[in-house]
Amino acid sequence: MMRKTKSNTGLAILTLLLAATVFAQDIVTWINGAGGKPALAVIDFRGSGSQPFMGAFNSTLFNDLQGSALFDMKAKSMFPLNNPQRPEDLRPEDGGQGFALSDWAGAPVNASHLVFGYTAAQNGALVLYGNVFDTRQQNQQSAQLFSQRYAGSLDEAGAIHVAHEFANDIILKFGGAASLLGSRIYYVSRRSDNTSEIVVMDWDGGNQKQLTRLNSLSIMPAVSPDGSRVAFTSFAKGTPRIMMIDTMTGRALPFYNQEASLNANASFTPDGKQIYFASTAGGLAQIYAAAINGQGFRRVSHRDAVESEPKVNPKNPNLLLFDGGPGHEQIYQMNSDGVGVERITNGEGEAANPAWNQDGQHFAFSWTRGYAKGDFNIFVMDIGSRQFVQLTHSEGRNENPSWAPDGRHLVFASTRTGKSQIYTMLADGTQVKPLTTQGDNRSPVWGVK
């Protein structure tokens, strides 16, 4: 009777999810982005008094736009010999020379939009004049999507900075989610057999900064939705306990740990007001919830199985995923009142590290399906259809995926070159980039700042 009630609740949840996504795309389509991507032709910008920095500028602009996965980036080898640098350079009547938008709209370029402009040294600063025009519009006025002026320092860093800002504005213009600019990645840096510290770096791997100095094991960080705090698991007082720190200063914030041999792997609710975590306060490791200062904790689940990594759905605070038994690790879903437990992964291999996409519909996770025990790969699954796609293919262990604020990039840890390092990639598994190369770095989470 009990069992029937549970599965009915599970069915109800499933039905709700399916109803919410009647027009849900096929997962492969979702991952690859909807059809009809804008086709961008991005010219090589030149500089007046700033030419030495234009190599860095052009590669940054191109990589940022390509990395957004919003665009079909057109090959520069197909471009006309001439290109406009200013809107007034456009001459619709002079077709075939590269100065008419129609030269870019048609074969062989086939671009829907032209990105052009130039930089100049002006009063000791580097100034960028950037333009985006729709090549398919006859009227130059309606073709102009936007033209914008940016300023940076007159050096390579300044050139890279204005390229990031320009790319960010283009991405936003085309409906991209928040860009990666300013976002940061928190992770665990192993220092010795018995010590690890929480470290933060920029989204591109730069500017690494150690946040904790506890000289013990600090593991499993989670970042709050506003990026202001990080919760992690600390062995500083012997048993694993949750610690909360300010992400700017690294200072400890008050957090009450209930009496238990283990309080660990916390995650924040989407409103940032609560945390869910695993605790043995009731005997075995099970799911609990509490306010972000640890007060007012309540037990959520009551199963006789190891349970960890509770993750609340960003669109539905009553639904959470977690990693647990019985038997071997799989991904389960559960209502926030502990009922409606249902296994989501199909029982093959071992599945762990569920991470919701911002859309509340898809989640990334680690799975050994098709490989030996311990050989995890990153997968993405649609919670409604249970369709899944494998993103990494057995290059070492690939674990702990976490979504970027843009909902299109993932950060994860991989042992593909030996020791564990941090990588980013697009949600389709392409554009894999190493962010760390030294030491032993694990468990990344991507914060908005």
Q: Which residues bind other proteins (CB under 8 A)?
A: 193-194, 196, 217, 219-220, 233, 235, 238-240, 261-262, 264-265, 278, 280, 283-285, 304, 306-309, 323-325, 327-329, 350, 352-353, 366, 373-374, 376, 399, 442-443
- How many Å apart are CA 40 and CA 72, to the nearest integer? 6
Taking the complex as a whole, how short is the minimal distance between the CB of residue 390 and other proteins, in angstroms? 17
Taking the complex as a whole, how short is the minimal distance between the CB of residue 306 and other proteins, in angstroms? 4
- Smaller CB distance to other proteins: residue 198 or 285? 285
> Which has the closest alpha carbon to 437: 205, 160, 148?
205
**11: enclosing H helix or E strand:** helix 2-20
- Smaller CB distance to other proteins: residue 95 or 326? 326
- Per the omega criterion (within 30 degrees of 0), is the bond before 326 cis? yes
Residue with tokens 């843009």: 406
Residue with tokens 């050096």: 155
- Smaller CB distance to other proteins: residue 166 or 277? 277
- How many Å apart are CA 271 and CA 263, to the nearest integer? 22
Taking the complex as a whole, how short is the minimal distance between the CB of residue 344 and other proteins, in angstroms? 15
- Smaller CB distance to other proteins: residue 324 or 429? 324
- How many Å apart are CA 216 and CA 267, to the nearest integer? 21
Please tell me whether residue 154 adopts helix, strand or coil conformation.
coil
- Smaller CB distance to other proteins: residue 96 or 374? 374
Asked whether the beta carbons of 398 and 392 are under 8 A apart, the reply is: yes
Taking the complex as a whole, how short is the minimal distance between the CB of residue 225 and other proteins, in angstroms? 20
Taking the complex as a whole, how short is the minimal distance between the CB of residue 352 and other proteins, in angstroms? 3
DSSP designation for 90? -
- How many Å apart are CA 234 and CA 19, to the nearest integer? 41
- Smaller CB distance to other proteins: residue 217 or 435? 217
Taking the complex as a whole, how short is the minimal distance between the CB of residue 424 and other proteins, in angstroms? 20
Taking the complex as a whole, how short is the minimal distance between the CB of residue 372 and other proteins, in angstroms? 8
Count Cβ atoms below 10 Å from residue 98 Cβ, excluding itself. Answer: 18
Taking the complex as a whole, how short is the minimal distance between the CB of residue 314 and other proteins, in angstroms? 20
Q: Which two tokens stand for residue 130?
A: 């950037």
- Smaller CB distance to other proteins: residue 34 or 372? 372
Taking the complex as a whole, how short is the minimal distance between the CB of residue 307 and other proteins, in angstroms? 7
- Residues near 248 by Cβ (< 8 Å), separated by ≥ 6? 228
- Smaller CB distance to other proteins: residue 99 or 235? 235
Asked whether the beta carbons of 352 and 344 are under 8 A apart, the reply is: no
Torsion of CA 416, 418, 419, 421, to 10 degrees: -30
Cα dist. 209→57, 184, 247 in Å?
26, 11, 11
- Smaller CB distance to other proteins: residue 240 or 314? 240
Axis crossing angle, helix 156-173 with helix 54-67, rounded to the nearest 10: 30
